[in-house]
Structure 1
Amino acid sequence: MEIRKLSKLEQLHLNINNLNGSIPESLLNCKNLVKLIFRVNYLQGNISKLDFSRLVHLQILDLGNNFFMGNLPKSLFACKSLTAVRVSSNSLIGPISPKITVLTSLTFLSLSNNSFSNLSEAIKIFAGCKSLVTLILSKIFYNETIPGEKNILGPEGFKKLQVLACGECSLQGEIPPATQPASGISLEEVESSQLQNLLVLDLSENRFSGTIPPEFSYLTNLEMLDLSWNLKTGQIRTSLKSLNFLSKFNVSYNDLEGPIPTGGQFDTFTESSYVGNDGLCGRVLQLSCSTNQPVRGEQYQHLADINLKKLQLEGFIAGFVIVFLSVLAVQAYNHQMSLFYRKKQIMDLSVIS
């Protein structure tokens, strides 16, 4: 049966099937398609040349983990019903088209592990996708510099965003103060600003410098913050204790220093959250911040170990002394008995004689 004759086809799930070749153009004539999933195959070809414009009902497109080339097809922006697009782990290149903002229903977008470029413009474009909930940008925009301008997201950017992943991009520069409230703005206005619904923020394995932005303290719904393997300096801000839902926190392998905050969620994080920062100190690292010596609990253990060794040594000495005295006592007793028998023998000899 020819694919083009499947006029009523709404869903096509062919993920993880070892398929190769290219997507047949006749498939794009199935105008009632709602879900098209080809994830994890060996498909290839230039997807820029594919015409998706007839798939007006398409809601989910998943082409991830294949060998496609080109850029995001311009015809894709005609699919106004799209809610989720995944093209991660292909060989796509080029800048992000601003036309993607016409996809007003788009909530999920994964572009990771490709060769897209022009991060500065891409951030502004993505901020215009007002329905985005999940944005995965890991392993793209390699070695680019993150723009340092304030409020790059604009007043309305990313209000619904819950997951933002930009790990393993080798991005450099300082994290922009995108969430910094202007002077005179009330707390209610701060809470309604961009990124306030963010739950997951992954900025790991980049080259971000500077201190941890104080604006992170305003992300009160944050559950995961990963800044590991960067070049962050300064101290871990105590204001981060206000993040009451934070369940995963990782700043390992930076150049941070000073005391690790205590209280709140910080009492739940382990040593693995902080390793690779030689200047950090605190109970979780068993290192006192005042003397760079073991903290009290470790000192008590250290003293206990010393006392145990002392007891063991004293026990050994006491045992040795007892044994030694016992030997002397036995020798003295034997000597006395020897003298007694010798004296007795002499007396016996005198009687006989």
Structure 2
Amino acid sequence: CNLFEGSIPVEISQLTELQYLSLYNNNLNGIIPFQLANLPKVRHLDLGANYLENPDWSKFSMPSLEYLSFFLNELTAEFPHFITNCRNLTFLDLSLNKFTGQIPELVYTNLGKLEALNLYNNSFLGPLSSNISKLSNLKNISLQNNLLSGQIPESIGSISGLQIVELFGNSFQGNIPPSIGQLKHLEKLDLRMNALNSTIPPELGLCTNLTYLTLADNQLSGELPLSLSNLAKIADMGLSENSLSGEISPTLISNWTELISLQVQNNLFSGNIPPEIGKLTMLQYLFLYNNTFSGSIPPEIGNLKELLSLDLSGNQLSGPLPPALWNLTNLQILNLFSNNINGKIPPEERLVFVALSYNQFIGEISPDWGECKNLTNLQMDGNRISGEIPAELGKLPQLRVLSLGSNDLTGRIHAELGNLSMLFNLNLSNNHLTGEVPQSLSTLLGLESLDLSDNKLTGNISKELGSYEKLSSLNLSHNNLAGEIPFELGNLNSLRYLLDLSSNSLSGAIPQNFRKLSRLETLNVSHNHLSGRIPDSLSSMVSLSSFDFSYNELTGRIPTGSIFKNASARSFVGNSGLCGEGLSQCPTTDSSKTLKDNKKVLIGVIVPVCGLLVIATIFAVMLCFRKTKLLDEETKIVNNGESSKSVIWERESKFTFGGYCQGH
């Protein structure tokens, strides 16, 4: 290993006597120079762990190669054809590249001297040829994490020297070949993460040198063959994520005294855990979770002095915890949740991770749990634990998760819990806790989930709760909290999953700055005494998919933003003053009423004025018409001679008399 950079110099091809060339684990890049083919005597070529790219493989020819590694580079396209002519190869490693296509048939027929074939972590596809048996010297075949399919060929069992078979992470289906039982030197068989859908062949029990057997994450069924008890050297047994059933026979496991890891989780195993489990004194990992094991935990489990992790969760185990369990001085992880285990829970100082949720545990939480300084996870929710939460839990400097919900806990939440500076999940819900939420909890700046719902907490919601920078879920529902919702909650920009303040006695308005909770998916403020309008600004909460404003004293029109358009009326019921889509029709607003009143006043002024104008116009027209008629009559009188004179005289005498009278 060096720190060479740049490309491989072409001039290296001039070293014609070179037999061994290793540039492994540098920072070389660029195209592999085809001139390397000019090194006729090179038997060992290792260009692994660089950043090299494809050359023109057609220009390559290195028939003398015995060892070839292009491991961990940037090579693409199909299998390099020149390799199929390297008939002296004993070691070939093309793993951790981006090769595609099928493995050429010539690999199986021409490379008969191969002892190690490493093609893992590429994109090779297609079936595995039955001609694999022609690689008769093969000791190690590693083809994991490709796109290979079809059945594992039965002929693989004729490669008698095989020690390691790694085919996991492909799409192989069908049976596990019984012929594998012929591989007397087999030490490691890894077929996990395929689609194998048979039973486990009893012939596997003939592979007595097996130390590692994992068939996990397939579709295997049936019971475990008793012949597997012959695997006396087995150290790692992984059968999880299948549909295996039946009981685990005491005979089966009694000989597995070298076992370090036993993982049979996520199957259909039933019956009792055999007491013979106590003979596996080398065991460090025992995973039996998510089966249907019943009965009590055998006290013999206390003999497993090397045990680091014990997971029996998701079964039907009952009875109290055996006292011998606390003899496991190396135990760090204890998962017993989702069973029917009862009795009391003694503390254990050495434990790091404890999950005892959803059982039938009783009694009080011992203050001595505060001495478990390495504890990172304490989950006891869903039991029948009573008494107060010990203030001593505040002395656990590494605690990340504290979940005590759904018990019968009473008393106050102690301020000392605010000392749990590493805490990111706090669940005390569904208990009988009283008093106010201590302000010290606002100092838990790493908190991501806070659930204090379904208690009897009182007081106001502290504005300091708005200081959480990582909080994604906040549930304070079903308490006796009062006062207004502090607008500081609108500063919880990281809230994503839930903000539930429902079923309290909160009053006042919904804060306008809730609009800043742009990532929030669920908002529930129902069953309070909130008043005022639902802020139109909430329409900008684009991630909101569920909300409930029901049973408050809210008024006004429901906002018309996109998130409210198809909302169910159930989200708003119990607010007699709310109106809009799905509710009662909104009454005339004050502004429109004012506009109508203004119109009425205007009409009341305009109509009389217009009426007067019309009357005046009619009067003027009539007056003009009368004058015109009078002039026509005078014209006729003038034209009629004597009669006209008498009229004039008459008019003049009238005029004279008028003037006369006026004069007097």
1:23-42 alignment runs, 5 A limit: 23-42=176-195
**CA deviation after TM superposition for structure 1 residue 206, in Å:** 1.7
Q: How far, CA to CA, are the matches of 2:463 and 2:167 in structure 1? A: 65
1:152 to 274, 299, 304: 299
Q: TM-score, normalised by structure 1?
A: 0.70
Q: How far, CA to CA, are the matches of 2:401 and 2:161 in structure 1? A: 56
1:69 to 221, 224, 234: 221
SS at match of 2:170: coil
Aligned pair count? Answer: 284
Kept in 1: contact 2:409–2:432 (CA 8 A): no
**CA deviation after TM superposition for structure 1 residue 253, in Å:** 2.5
Matched, 1:228 2:357: yes
Matched, 1:250 2:392: no
1:202 to 303, 324, 335: 335
1:96 to 244, 248, 254: 248
Q: How far, CA to CA, are the matches of 1:253 and 1:128 in structure 2? A: 33
Matched, 1:169 2:315: yes
Matched, 1:56 2:208: yes
Q: How far, CA to CA, are the matches of 2:379 and 2:236 in structure 1? A: 29
Q: How far, CA to CA, are the matches of 2:191 and 2:309 in structure 1? A: 24
Give CA deviations for 1:89-147 in whole Å, capped at 9, x if unaligned.
2222222222312122111001112222222xx241211111111000101235x2326
Kept in 1: contact 2:377–2:402 (CA 8 A): no
Q: How far, CA to CA, are the matches of 1:286 and 1:232 in structure 2? A: 17
**CA deviation after TM superposition for structure 1 residue 163, in Å:** 0.7
Kept in 2: contact 1:286–1:294 (CA 8 A): no
SS at match of 2:435: coil
SS at match of 2:334: strand
Q: How far, CA to CA, are the matches of 2:223 and 2:399 in structure 1? A: 41
**CA deviation after TM superposition for structure 1 residue 42, in Å:** 1.6
Q: TM-score, normalised by structure 2?
A: 0.39
SS at match of 1:127: helix
Q: How far, CA to CA, are the matches of 2:393 and 2:360 in structure 1? A: 26
**CA deviation after TM superposition for structure 1 residue 7, in Å:** 2.0
Gaps (5+ residues) in structure 2? Answer: 1-130, 132-154, 418-426, 441-458, 465-481, 487-664
Matched, 1:259 2:259: no
Q: Which has the higher contact order (CA 8 A, sep 6+)?
A: 1
**CA deviation after TM superposition for structure 1 residue 8, in Å:** 2.1
2:434 to 289, 292, 311: 292
Q: How far, CA to CA, are the matches of 2:401 and 2:352 in structure 1? A: 18
Larger strand proportion, structure 1 or 2?
2
AA of the residue aligned to 2:164: Q
SS at match of 1:255: coil
Q: How far, CA to CA, are the matches of 1:267 and 1:24 in structure 2? A: 53
Q: How far, CA to CA, are the matches of 1:179 and 1:85 in structure 2? A: 23
SS at match of 2:232: coil
1:203-352 alignment runs, 5 A limit: 203-212=336-345, 214=346, 217=347, 219-261=348-390, 262-263=392-393, 265-266=395-396, 269=399, 273-280=403-410, 281-283=412-414, 284=417, 292-297=434-439
SS at match of 1:75: helix
1:101-140 alignment runs, 5 A limit: 101-119=254-272, 122-140=273-291
Judged with a 3 Å threshold, the aligned counterparts in structure 2 of structure 1 residues 292 and 225 are, in CA distance, closer, same or farther, namely same
Identity of aligned residues (%): 28
Gaps (5+ residues) in structure 1? Answer: 181-193, 310-353
Kept in 2: contact 1:247–1:265 (CA 8 A): no
**CA deviation after TM superposition for structure 1 residue 165, in Å:** 0.3
**CA deviation after TM superposition for structure 1 residue 306, in Å:** 7.7
